[in-house]
Chains A and B, each alone.
Chain A
Amino acid sequence: QVQLQESGPGLVEPSETLSLTCTVSGGSISTYYWSWIRQPPGKGLEWIGYIHYSGSTNHNPSLTSRLIISLDTSRNQFSLKLSSVTAADTAVYFCARGSPIPDTWGQGTLVTVSA
C-alpha cells in the first residue's frame, strides 16, 4: 500500500524558509491530490494546502503569501516551502494523500523555528 515519508531540516532560523519533501512509495504520485497539514505543539491540526497531480494548488488563506507547494513526478515527491518563518510555524508537519479528505498520512516531522 502507499506510504508517505516527510523529510527536511528539523531546525529553521526565524525569517528563513522552511523546506520539506514528502516521498511517496508504493504508488504513483501522478494521481490524486497531495496535501500538507501541520500541528503546532499542544494545538490542533491545521490544513496548509494541497497540490493536484496536474500541478494545480490551493493554499490556506492564512499562509498563501508565504507558501509554495510543488510536485516532482520523476522522483515521486512533493514539497513544501514556507518563507519568513517565525516561532508560530513550529509544528509537526504531515504530508498526506488526498484532499479534502486525506486517507493516508505520513508519520510527521517536527520542525522547530529558533535561532
Chain B
Amino acid sequence: SAVISQKPSRDICQRGTSLTIQCQVDSQVTMMFWYRQQPGQSLTLIATANQGSEATYESGFVIDKFPISRPNLTFSTLTVSNMSPEDSSIYLCSVWTSGSSYNEQFFGPGTRLTVL
C-alpha cells in the first residue's frame, strides 16, 4: 500500500497568483500522477511525473500553466500558475504500487483550491 499526504489541504488565492501543491508518498514510486477534480466534473488526469525527466502532460494541460517537479522517488510538486477562477478545483496526487497479485492505485486527500 501507499500513504500519500498533500500540502496545503486547502487554500484561497487571488487571481494572477501561483500556488505550489506538495505531494509526499511513504514509499518510493516510479511515477506520480496529478489529477484535477472540478466541481460537478469528471476527475481528469493533468500529467504524469517521472523522477529525473520532464513530466508528460495530457491534452489541454501545458507546462507553463502547471509546472511539475519530481526531485526524488517520494515527492512531487504541482504549481498552478497565473490562476483564474476557472482553476478553482480539487487537485489530487496519485500513485500505483505493485501488489502480490495485482497493482493498486492510491490517491492523496486532495488540495481544495478556490481562486477569487
User: A and B from one assembly?
Assistant: no
Interface residues of A (CB under 8 A from B): none
Interface residues of B (CB under 8 A from A): none
